A = this chain, B = another copy of it.
Amino acid sequence: MDLSSFLTSLATSCIIFLLLMLLFFWLSNKPGNNVVYYPNRILKGLEPYDAMYKTRYPFTWIQEAFSSTEKDVISISGVDSAVYFVFLATALGILVVSGLVLLPLLLPLALTDKGKSNQTTSKGTFTDLDKLSMGNIKEKSDRLWAFVFAVYWVSVVTYYLLWRAYGHVSELRAAALMSPEVKPEQFAILVRDIPAPPVDQTRKKQVDSYFRALYPDTFFRSMVVTDYGKVNVIWKELEGYKKKVAHAEAVYAEYKEKGKPEGTRPKNRPRCCGLIGAKVDTIEYYTEKIDELTTKLEAEQKVVLREKQQASAFVFFKSRLSAASAAQNLHARMVDTWTVVNAPEPRQVIWDNLTKQFYSRQIRQYIVHSIVFLTIAFYMIPIGLVSAFTTLENLKKLLPFIKPWVKKKALRTVLEAYLPQLALLVFLSLLPKLLLVLSKAEGIPSESHAARAASGKYFYFSVFNVFIGVTLGGTLFSTFKTIQKSPDDIIPLLASSLPGNATFFLTFVALKFFVGYGLELSRIIPLIIFHLKRKYLCKTEAELKEAWTPGDLNYGTRIPSDLLILTIVFCYCVIAPIIIPFGVVYFGVGWLVFRNQVLKVFVPSYESYGQMWPHIHTRIVAALILFQVTMFGYFGVNKFYYTPVLIPLPFLSLIFAYICSKKFYRAFHDTALEVAREDLKEEPNMEVVFKSFIPPSLATEKADDDQSEDALSPISRSVSSA
C-alpha cells in the first residue's frame, strides 16, 4: 500500500463517517424516530432533548456531549457507564500527553537520519511514512536514546493517569454505595454452600436460626433459593398467552374500527405453530388456557416453595452496615460451607448458578479456563477443518439441491474464495456469546460478573490472535525452524516483525473508528428493524415498546476491542509515532459518540458500581507490559548497546499493578464499612427490599400466609427463639 492509496482509504472512511453523521442529524430530527434515537430519555420520562438545544444543528449532539457532566451520566446511566468514560478519557489522556512529547521529539529525529535501506516499515513501498518511523534510524545510533526516553515517558504517563483514574473510580463507587437511596442489594447477602439441615429442621428454619444467632439485632429475614425451573416454564407459557390475548384483542379492535362494527374475531389453529388442527377463537381459547395455567402455577409455586428449597439463600439485614459486614465475614469454620458474598442486584441474579456447590464451581472454573485457553491457542484448527469439509465438492454431496447453483462459474469462484472466511466470520461473531455462555457455566451468581469474566477472556483472545497473530503472520511459518531451536527467540521475532505491520494497523484503526462509530451513531440497523416491526408485527403498546427498547452498551465486548486498539497504539507509539494521532481520534470520537449513546440511547440492564474498573486497569497494565517487552526486543534488533536500560520497566509495571491492587482492589470486592455507614434518606421498607428479590414467576399477589416452612415466609418468633 503506498501513501496515496492509504490516504484514499482514509479519506473514504472519513467521508463515510461524515455522511453517516448527516444521516443521523436528518433521521434523529424526525419525531417518529425519537424512540430510536432517544429511548433512554423517553423511558426515564424526560423530553428527547433539553429546551436549550431545541433547535438542532448537525453538531448539536457534540455540544450536548461536551456540556454533559459525569453526574449526568451517573444519574441517567449509572456508575458503570461513568467508569467506561473514565476509561476512554484515561486512554485519551495517555495518548495525548505521550503524543505531545513523542511527536515533536521523535519525528524530526527519524526524518533527518539516513536509515537502513533494506528495512521498510510497510510491506509495500510505503516509503514516505517509513521516514517517520524508528526503522529510519541507523543501527547503534545515539539517536536511539530519544526512543528509550520515549518508552519511559509513555510508561510514566500511563502510571500517573491510571493511578489517578483508579482513585477517581474508587470515589465514584463509594459515592454510589453511600447514596441515600435504598437499594435492595445493599441490605442482602447471598449465602451459598449451606450444609444439609438437621433431620428435624427445614432448610428455611436452619438458615433463619443460624443467622439470627449471629446477628440478633440486625437480621431481618431470609429467602431460601428454590429450584423453580418448572414454575418458570409454566409462568413463561402463561405470559406468552397473555401477550397473545392482548395481541388478538388489538387485532379485533382494529377490525372493528375498519368497518364491521361487530368485527371478525381472530382465529388460529392451536397446534404446531398454527399449521394443523381446527380453527378456534383465539381470545377465548387463550383466556381459557390462562385460567387453567394460573391454577397450575399457584399449585406448583406452593410445592416449589415448600419442597424444592436449595442449599443457598438470600439473607436480609435491617441496615447496610450489617449486610456489608456480614458479606465479608467468615461464618463457618469450614471455609467451603456457608460462603457469603454481597448480593447482586435482583435483576441480574443468575438463579440457576446460585445452587451450584463450592467444589462444583471450582471444577467448572478450571474446565472453562482450559476450554478458553485451548480456544484461544488453537481456534484456527477447527475452523480450518470446517472450511476443508465445506468445500463445494463436499457440499454438493451433502446438499444435492445446491448443485444447479454451483454450476454457474462466477458464483462458484466467489463461494470457493469466501467459504473459509465465512466460517471464520461466523466463529468470530459467535465468540463473545460463546465466551459469555462459558463464563456463566463457571457458576458466577450475577450477570455483571459473568460479563466481566467473558470480557477478560475476549481481551486475551483479541490480543493474542489479532495482534500477535497478524504481526507474526507470515513471518511465523517461514521462521518456524528458528523458533523450534530456541523458544527464547520469540520476543526478537515479534519485535522485528512489528514495523512491517505498522501500516496495516494504521488502516485497521482508521477504518474501525470511522465506519464503526458512524454506524453506531446513526443507528441505521435498529431504525430499520423498528420500522419494519412497527408496520407489520406490533399491535399493542407493549409490543411496540419492546420493539424500540434498546439493550445496554454491552461493555463485555466493547471494552476488549477498545483495549485492543490501545494495545496496538501502545506497541507502535514509539516505533511509528504517527499512529498516536489516530489513537487520539479513535478515543476522542469514541468518547463523543458514546456520550451521546449513553445519555440518550442505551438502557443499562444492570449496575455493578464500577466493578469493571479493576479488570480494565489490569489489562491496560498488561498492554503496557507487552509494549515494554516488545520495545526491549526491538531495541535489541536495532543492536542498541544500552538496551538493558529498558529491563526495569516491566518490573516497574508489575510493582505498580501490585501496589494498585493492594491499595484499591479490595474496596471493589467488598464494601468498606465507612462507606456502608452513611445514613439513608428514609427508613428502608424492608418488605419492599425483600420482595424485590422474589423472582417474577414466584411472586404471588396474595398476602404472606404464615406457613413457616415455606422458602419465602417470615419465621414466627416462637421458632426463632428455639
CB within 8 Å of B: which residues of A?
Answer: 170-171, 174, 210, 213-214, 217, 321, 324-325, 328-336, 338, 358-359, 362, 659, 662-667, 670-675, 677
Contacts and interface: CB of A to CB of B under 8 A. Distances in A.
Given A217-B217, A321-B214, A328-B328, A333 B674 contact: yes
A320 B669 CA distance: 25
A335 B213 contact: no
A174 B670 contact: no
Contacts of A662: 335-336, 358, 362
A334 B362 CA distance: 30
Nearest to A664: B335
Contacts of A331: 672-674
B330 A670 contact: yes
Contacts of A213: 677
Given A217-B217, A328-B328, A174 B674 contact: no
A330 B673 contact: yes
Contacts of A328: 328-330
Contacts of A359: 659
A278 to B, nearest CB: 61
Contacts of A334: 170, 663-664, 667
Given A325-B325, A330-B328, A362-B662, A674 B214 contact: yes
Given A328-B328, A335-B664, A673 B214 contact: yes
Given A170-B334, A331-B674, 20 more contacts: A170-B333, A174-B333, A210-B674, A214-B321, A214-B677, A328-B328, A328-B329, A330-B666, A330-B670, A330-B671, A330-B672, A332-B672, A333-B667, A333-B674, A334-B663, A334-B667, A335-B662, A335-B667, A336-B662, A338-B674
A163 to B, nearest CB: 12
Nearest to A174: B333
A328 B217 CA distance: 19
A332 B334 CA distance: 28
Contact of A665 (B217, B321, B335): B335
Nearest to A321: B214
Contacts of A321: 214
Contacts of A171: 333
A666 B664 CA distance: 22
Contacts of A324: 329
A332 B664 CA distance: 10
B663 A333 contact: no
A188 B666 CA distance: 23
Given A325-B325, A362-B662, A662-B362, A332 B674 contact: yes
A329 B336 contact: no
Contacts of A338: 674
A329 B673 contact: yes
A320 to B, nearest CB: 12
Contacts of A333: 170-171, 174, 667, 672, 674-675
A601 to B, nearest CB: 32
A317 B663 CA distance: 27
A216 to B, nearest CB: 9
Contacts of A329: 324-325, 328-329, 670, 673
Contacts of A214: 321, 673-674, 677
A335 B614 CA distance: 14
Most buried by B among A217, A334, A667: A334
18 contacts: A170-B333, A214-B673, A214-B674, A217-B217, A324-B329, A328-B328, A328-B330, A330-B670, A330-B671, A331-B673, A333-B672, A333-B675, A334-B663, A335-B663, A335-B664, A335-B666, A359-B659, A362-B659
